[in-house]
Structure 1
Amino acid sequence: MSKRIKSKKYVGVYYRDLANNDRVFEFTYKDINGVKKWVKVGLASHNINEAYANRKRIETISKIKLDGDEPDFIKKRKAVKKLILNTVAVEYFKDYETRSKPNIFKESLFKYQNKIEPYFGNKAIDEINKESIDKWLNVFKGEYKQASINSYHATFKAIINFGIKEFKELENIANPLSKISIKDPQNERERVLSTNEIKHLFDCLIHKPKAYLYVCVALGTGARPQAIITTQKKDLDIPNRTLTFPALKKGKRYPVPLIESLFQKLIEATKDLKPDDYIFHPDNPKTDTTRPITYEGMKGQIQPLLDDLFNRGFDRNDRKHRVTFYTFRHTFATHLVKNSNVNILDVKKLMSHSRLQMTERYTKVELHKGTQDALNNLYS
């Protein structure tokens, strides 16, 4: 094939000299993906010339359909702006706020803003598919309770169902969440550290001061991991001997009284910090007290040891038996309610739960001795 020669007079117009001494004229434009498309106009022997090829190019770009369809670049200009998830979510939560209790509304909004929006907020709803949702759900496996994962799924599904009902642009789409069956939350965490296991863990952490302090706070307050790593020096109330944790699920900050040993450790750890400095800050590649350490950074210092001490032989997704960051929270609540003098309503406050049922699910209480003795001697 002979070489294309660019017209010196018209943009996008080319010609090629053929072996039979004829000349063929062509023009080019870019499609929606930025790829050149070539259109053959005709031969000089058929009275086609550069001016005619240029007119055809202008007509194509402006209005003429090519082979019964518009060029891709024209389609792109005419394309209707797609409806993204955030647009539907705003209207959904306006409606939901009018028909739900304030705490339930806040919890649902929190789930969307923290678990759904970062992944899908700016994505067109008709482009959200089962594969992308499966990948999203897999992010939470191993770290979140199945009941929590199911609630994220339910919130997501409800938003899209609302969109299908209320937005004409979505009336013909199928909700991709309906294609994904949720799992029964039967594999919930049951693992709680014993007193001896806690002592052994601390012995192994003695040379890792930041990890040691984190575990002290986790086991001494029952706070959620993200709440712990975002505490600042000013959250330590020395006169009242409390540590106040930032709002997460419930939407309200809450203080937790500190036992004397933990209180002294926090005073020592924060003595050189400014009020706005974070107690758990990154030290690699350099110390920066003005921002909190990441969840992954803190986990990376502790989880390998937990796996070595307690998780050998267990599947990574075995939530019932593996020890994770959330085991500290379960351990705190369980050991606390073993004391007969403890009021479970106080535990609910310390755990920052909105409902008592949540506190009861977090605690694994042994049978009272009298009940256990009766069972042992039931048929004797």
Structure 2
Amino acid sequence: MGSKKLINVRKSTQKSISELYKEYLNYCISIGQTDGTIVSKTSYFKFTLNKIVNVEGNISTFTQDKLEKHIIMMRKNKYSSNYIQGVVIKSKAFLTWCFNHQYIEKFKIKIPQATQKKKTVYTEEELKKLLKKPNLKTCLVGTYKNWVTVNTLLGTGCRAETLLNILVKDVDFINSTILFRHMKMHKQISVPLSPTLSSVLREYIQLLDFKQDDFLFPKLNKKKMSYDTLHQNISIFCKHRNIQMRGINTFRNTFATLFIKNGNNNIYLLQKLLGHSDIRMTERYINLLPCQMAEDINKYNPLDVLNQQRLSIKRGGKQ
């Protein structure tokens, strides 16, 4: 008896793209995607998807041709390659969900390559200005708090959302560690607490009379601070220090850069400190460090070190 060929029949649905996208978002929430991912996908629906296709129309109207025409439009209007890549990735994720539920016939979606830019960092001169401790007798509480925030961002290399979820009890002065309870990949890690940052945080917690269950960097009412408020506070702090604000994540870039520049090229240690789940993410991070880092890193290249030792011995033998 011959085998029967299974035919993949597409479901018919009267639901609009808008209705299906709501179901898709609920699915993303149910499988535990991060809050940041859900916010990003919600923004895509509000501000981008309706430019590709009429979201009140049937899913069958979301065709390969329409997606490609939108990509061409973005290229013609000089959108950054990173932005274009992000749009295609989010479109593909939604369409794949629709493909899997047989709401639309599958078609191929190729994600375009993005041009990776060198990481922006704060210079050492800028850091000296930002890290100059304010006069505790005359400064505002907000200024002091922002100074401590900058110290923590630079001293740990953590992301903004990680910083905003740190509790006072997560700072372990006895074992010199900080617990990062909110990470991008839903994992918790403990990172070393440097002597300088330990001193800064110990004084900060005592002066502001924080309790163990308080957020380390809360709003005035002790509630969790939002990213927008954090960004605004650091922007004001940078302005008062005559420094151009380059974003919260720039402190993370600076941490990684100085980590290498100061002589520690242990990529696996850097991976742990940055909280990367895949070593390739850390390798990519290092590859995007500023060009001037090459000279500093080369000082620790084993071939160059051995060559310098050989030349030193040779010179010594001639004397």
TM-score by length of 2: 0.63
Q: Deviations over 1:189-241 (max 9, x none)?
A: 43222333211122386641111011000000000011112211111112211
Q: Tell me how far apart the structure 2 counterparts of residues 370 and 162 of structure 1 sit (CA, whole Å).
A: 46
2:233 matched to which residue of 1?
301
Letter of the 1:334 counterpart: T
1:354 matched to which residue of 2?
277
Range 222-231 or range 197-206, more displaced: 197-206
Q: CA deviation at 1:170?
A: 4.5
CA distance 1:278–1:199, change in 2 (3 Å): same
Work out whether 1:335 is the aligned partner of 2:252. Answer: no
Q: Tell me how far apart the structure 1 counterparts of residues 40 and 189 of structure 2 sit (CA, whole Å).
A: 22
Q: State whether residues 28 and 38 of structure 2, in contact with CA within 8 Å, keep that contact through their aligned partners in structure 1.
A: no
Alignment of 1:71-220 (within 5 A): 82=16, 83-88=19-24, 112-117=37-42, 120=45, 127=55, 147=82, 152-167=86-101, 169-170=103-104, 184-186=114-116, 188-203=117-132, 207=139, 208-220=143-155
Q: Tell me how far apart the structure 1 counterparts of residues 81 and 175 of structure 2 sit (CA, whole Å).
A: 37
Letter of the 2:155 counterpart: G
Q: State whether residues 111 and 152 of structure 1, in contact with CA within 8 Å, keep that contact through their aligned partners in structure 2.
A: no
Q: CA deviation at 1:146?
A: 6.7
Unaligned runs of 5+ residues in structure 1 are: 1-78, 98-105, 138-144, 312-321, 375-380
Letter of the 2:252 counterpart: R
Q: Tell me how far apart the structure 2 counterparts of residues 92 and 329 of structure 1 sit (CA, whole Å).
A: 28
Q: State whether residues 269 and 279 of structure 1, in contact with CA within 8 Å, keep that contact through their aligned partners in structure 2.
A: no
User: Larger strand proportion, structure 1 or 2?
Assistant: 1
SS in 1 for 2:132: helix
Query: What is the number of equivalent residue pairs in this alignment?
Result: 253
Q: Deviations over 1:44-96 (max 9, x none)?
A: xxxxxxxxxxxxxxxxxxxxxxxxxxxxxxxxxxx9554321424566899xx
Letter of the 1:295 counterpart: Y
Letter of the 1:116 counterpart: K
Q: Tell me how far apart the structure 1 counterparts of residues 84 and 228 of structure 2 sit (CA, whole Å).
A: 23
Tell which has more relative contact order, 1 or 2 (C-alpha 8 A, sep 6+). 2
Letter of the 1:240 counterpart: N
Q: CA deviation at 1:151?
A: 6.3
SS in 2 for 1:84: helix
Q: CA deviation at 1:184?
A: 2.9
Q: State whether residues 44 and 87 of structure 2, in contact with CA within 8 Å, keep that contact through their aligned partners in structure 1.
A: no
Q: Tell me how far apart the structure 2 counterparts of residues 338 and 233 of structure 1 sit (CA, whole Å).
A: 31
Unaligned runs of 5+ residues in structure 2 are: 1-12, 57-61, 75-79, 308-319
Q: CA deviation at 1:369?
A: 4.0
Letter of the 1:160 counterpart: F
Q: State whether residues 116 and 156 of structure 1, in contact with CA within 8 Å, keep that contact through their aligned partners in structure 2.
A: yes
Q: CA deviation at 1:156?
A: 1.9
Q: Deviations over 1:240-299 (max 9, x none)?
A: 11111123312101112111121122122223222221111112xxxx11x221111121
Mark the structure with the bigger radius of gyration.
1
SS in 2 for 1:199: helix
User: Larger helix proportion, structure 1 or 2?
Assistant: 2
CA distance 1:92–1:155, change in 2 (3 Å): farther
Q: State whether residues 183 and 275 of structure 2, in contact with CA within 8 Å, keep that contact through their aligned partners in structure 1.
A: no
Q: State whether residues 150 and 183 of structure 1, in contact with CA within 8 Å, keep that contact through their aligned partners in structure 2.
A: no
Q: Tell me how far apart the structure 2 counterparts of residues 370 and 277 of structure 1 sit (CA, whole Å).
A: 43
Q: Tell me how far apart the structure 1 counterparts of residues 34 and 262 of structure 2 sit (CA, whole Å).
A: 36
Q: Tell me how far apart the structure 1 counterparts of residues 300 and 28 of structure 2 sit (CA, whole Å).
A: 52
For 1:267, which of 172, 179, 202 is the aligned residue? 202
Q: Deviations over 1:20-44 (max 9, x none)?
A: xxxxxxxxxxxxxxxxxxxxxxxxx
2:219 matched to which residue of 1?
282
1:233 matched to which residue of 2?
168
TM-score by length of 1: 0.54
Q: CA RMSD in A?
A: 4.2
Letter of the 2:55 counterpart: E
Work out whether 1:345 is the aligned partner of 2:268. Answer: yes
Work out whether 1:243 is the aligned partner of 2:178. Answer: yes
SS in 2 for 1:249: coil
SS in 1 for 2:294: coil
CA distance 1:341–1:170, change in 2 (3 Å): closer
Q: Tell me how far apart the structure 1 counterparts of residues 184 and 114 of structure 2 sit (CA, whole Å).
A: 23
Q: Tell me how far apart the structure 2 counterparts of residues 249 and 297 of structure 1 sit (CA, whole Å).
A: 20
For 2:224, which of 292, 306, 312 is the aligned residue? 292
SS in 1 for 2:212: coil
SS in 2 for 1:244: strand
Q: Tell me how far apart the structure 2 counterparts of residues 221 and 357 of structure 1 sit (CA, whole Å).
A: 20
Q: State whether residues 44 and 90 of structure 2, in contact with CA within 8 Å, keep that contact through their aligned partners in structure 1.
A: no
SS in 2 for 1:127: coil
